[in-house]
Structure 1
Amino acid sequence: MRTILHLDLDSFYVSTERLINSSLLQKPILIGGTNDRAIVIACSQETKAYGIHNGMPMKTAKELCPEAISISGNNAAYSKYSELVTEIIKEKVPVLEKSGISEFYADLSGMDKFFGTYKYAIELRQKVISETGLPISFGLSQNKTVSKVAVNVAKPNNQIKVDFGTEKSFMAPLSVKKVPMVGQKTYQMLRNLGIRYVKTIQEMPVDVMKGVLGTNGLTIWKRANGIDNTPVIAYSERKSISLEHTFNKDTIDLYKLKNLLVAMTENLSYQLRKENKLTACIVLKIKYSDFNIYTKQQKIQYTNADHILLTKVLELFNQLHQKRLLIRLVGIKFSHLIKGNLQINLFEKNTKQYQLYQALDHIRNKYGDQSIARASSLETHKLKTVSPLIPVIHKK
């Protein structure tokens, strides 16, 4: 029998800010920028009573709760504490999957014989709290879906164990919103059908759910019934995505080289967002005409935004490219990948910046990843027949 633990740092961004500045305790907090054109990335529990939620324009949030304290966000601190918690958990569990900057799955199967998994999970949670000062909750069950739902029921700063055989009854009274994969659009479809609670989905024939929602309907039906065989995938910091380009003719043309780096960075950034991932490390590679290879890397705050990554890539190129030799190959690699979304990287950006990324990605999803690009990188599209800009996922 499997035993899957899901740990989730409570209100991670708000908790981190309060850890750094204790004067923020029990005060309404809005994270996402200090100007009215920013968007709310995270908000404290005190603001939710005013109807404030993530993704809301900061101006609207401030109108609803004028006394709220606006914070631009400290991505460096969030990355630091995320990695600190990761190291604590990784040392104590057999298999760890980092599913986001503040969420973790661990497979504790078989440990009951020696430790008692619920007791062990409690001790692990207390270790995280005592060593970091951050509140954290967990759900423990036989699969990832039920454990994820359980941790949300357990919050704030608590724990729940769902015993084997009780998964279906645990899920039954919950809102269908609690089922993973049920977003706002799907929720509205289900509500239009008169489906409000998970129990109703459990009682429906699976063919009806498939008829309404297609293949997603089957997955939602299984999850509503507490069925999920998805494995915990071991977390590895060496997981990466990269691009390389070999020139037909070695070049020293800096204009061409930098435009190519722009195109490659755009492509990789889009792939990160498409797969809902963030990177914390950039590696730049140059191979010269004498076949000597040089690389330079830089750790960064978690991001998948073009403008942030592009600045860093060009900085690395300027630092690395010091020889007056012809260049045969350039490559970019983004590593230390975790799951995460675009919003946490746009603390100081306004809603137009966020909407621009959404619009560009929508066009790429519909017409292909090379369908739209910066003007400076257009020339590189002529190089596609020589060495296509196709990303490769590495997991060593």
Structure 2
Amino acid sequence: MTPDPRPPAVPPAPSGGHRPPGLLHIRFTAADGTPLSADRFEQLLRLLARFTPVTEALPPDAALADVRGALRYFDRDAEGIAELIRLRALAWHGVRCTIGVAGNPLLARMAAQAAAPGEIQVVPDDAAAVGAFLDRRPASALHGIGPATARALSAYGLDSIGRIAAAPPATLQRILGAKTGRSVHERARGIDPTPVVPNAASRSMAAEHRFAHDELDPVRRRRALLSLADGLGVRMRAAGQVARALTLTVRYADRSTTTRTRRLDGPTAHGPALTEAAYALHAALGLQRARVRSVALRAEDLCRAERAARQLTFDPADEKAHRIEAAVDRARARFGAGAVHPAATLRPRSRPAQP
């Protein structure tokens, strides 16, 4: 009798209470502590594709993966698949994975943030476990709530996710507005219907700056954003691409993050336009005394430059800026990427004391 080559079926989930989660939020960290290169990030996405085609790239160092369709094939639950991914990433690419396993992207992301570096944290997909996981966490730990929103909620005594979930939706709408109030109420109860959208890293381009120490100075943060925006512009122009949107991700000392996206006025790879959008995103967060560990910019919704419509302008200063940028690109191509930098990215030198 020929043995059945198929792996045994995974036992069905018990009806009613506990259901096995199936979404992974994976954060990649190079073992030597250096930022991930674009090539290595592409390799890690291909590793995830060995387990599931439903993978959403979150450059520069994260991804979402829906492995519910792979549980039967690998004869493992989602945590078991996460362990396989963790081991293979470390053995094949020298990259540590911090993985959150949950029933939706919101909870998976928060589980990954709460996990120790290189570890796996699971949030079972049932109401009691989700409530216990969220209850005593601060309002700022809820993805989508920035420092300004957290302060507004704390002023009304809603300083934890459990208290936000217990508050009437009408109260949250009066504090935050109708749309934001409804969204925050759902998220505080662990509800996130956002699907995992398979994409390719080439649809976006990202860069990150990690500060040597938790940064409080907004001037230094703006200097880092200028450098990132300038670098993204150089890379997009070299690849013949333009972006329609820009996303800023700020990571804080407590490992929580805030992400904001801004649609650009038009498809562009122009450094000053990207810098202006990055500054606007940063200013909108109101980070007065926040301890910032890193900032990242991601140019999104990329398309070929020749296919993008460009708004005509009769401003000679704008045309001059584009000509200067083209000349700088030629200098970098000839003498190296470090040949030219925006002057504002240079740290001012202290002047010697006058006798």
TM-score above 0.5, yes or no: yes
Given the alignment of the two structures, is residue 134 of structure 1 paired with residue 95 of structure 2, yes or no?
Answer: yes
Matches within 5 A, 1:6-25: 6-10=25-29, 15-17=32-34
Query: Normalising by the residue count of structure 1, what TM-score does the alignment of the two structures yield?
Result: 0.50
Displacement of 1:78 = 2.5
Tell me if the contact between 1:278 and 1:341 (Cα under 8 Å) persists in the aligned partners. Answer: no
Q: What is the identity, as a one-letter code, of the residue corresponding to 1:141? A: A
Displacement of 1:362 = 3.8
Alignment-derived partner of residue 206 in structure 1:
169
Identity %: 18
Alignment-derived partner of residue 192 in structure 1:
155
* Distance of 2:319 and 2:81 partners within structure 1: 53
Check 1:140–1:338 CA distance in 2 against 1; reply closer, same or farther (3 A cut): farther
Match of 2:142 among 179, 203, 223: 179
Match of 1:305 among 222, 225, 229: 229
* Distance of 2:170 and 2:103 partners within structure 1: 26
Alignment-derived partner of residue 262 in structure 1:
none
Moved more, 89-98 or 141-150: 89-98
Given the alignment of the two structures, is residue 145 of structure 1 paired with residue 106 of structure 2, yes or no?
Answer: yes
Alignment-derived partner of residue 119 in structure 2:
158
Displacement of 1:229 = 0.8
Tell me if the contact between 1:176 and 1:196 (Cα under 8 Å) persists in the aligned partners. Answer: yes
Query: Normalising by the residue count of structure 2, what TM-score does the alignment of the two structures yield?
Result: 0.55
Higher relative contact order (CA 8 A, sep 6+): 1
Matches within 5 A, 1:264-279: 278=205
* Distance of 2:68 and 2:102 partners within structure 1: 10
Matches within 5 A, 1:193-342: 193-214=156-177, 215-237=179-201, 239=203, 278=205, 305-306=229-230, 309=233, 313=237, 332-334=240-242, 341=248
User: How many residue pairs end up in the alignment?
Assistant: 233
Query: SS at the partner of 1:150?
Result: helix
Residue by residue over 1:294-335, the C-alpha shift from the partner in whole angstroms, topping out at 9 and shown as x without a partner, is: xxxxxxxxx97257635874x78xxxxxxxxxxxxxxx5348
Tell me if the contact between 2:153 and 2:175 (Cα under 8 Å) persists in the aligned partners. Answer: no
* Distance of 2:80 and 2:249 partners within structure 1: 36
Alignment-derived partner of residue 38 in structure 2:
79
* Distance of 2:134 and 2:246 partners within structure 1: 25
Segments of structure 2 that go 5 or more residues without pairing to the other structure are 1-18, 208-226, 252-270, 285-310, 323-355
* Distance of 1:360 and 1:141 partners within structure 2: 32
Alignment-derived partner of residue 386 in structure 1:
none
Tell me if the contact between 2:24 and 2:82 (Cα under 8 Å) persists in the aligned partners. Answer: yes
Segments of structure 1 that go 5 or more residues without pairing to the other structure are 18-74, 240-276, 281-302, 317-331, 345-352, 381-396
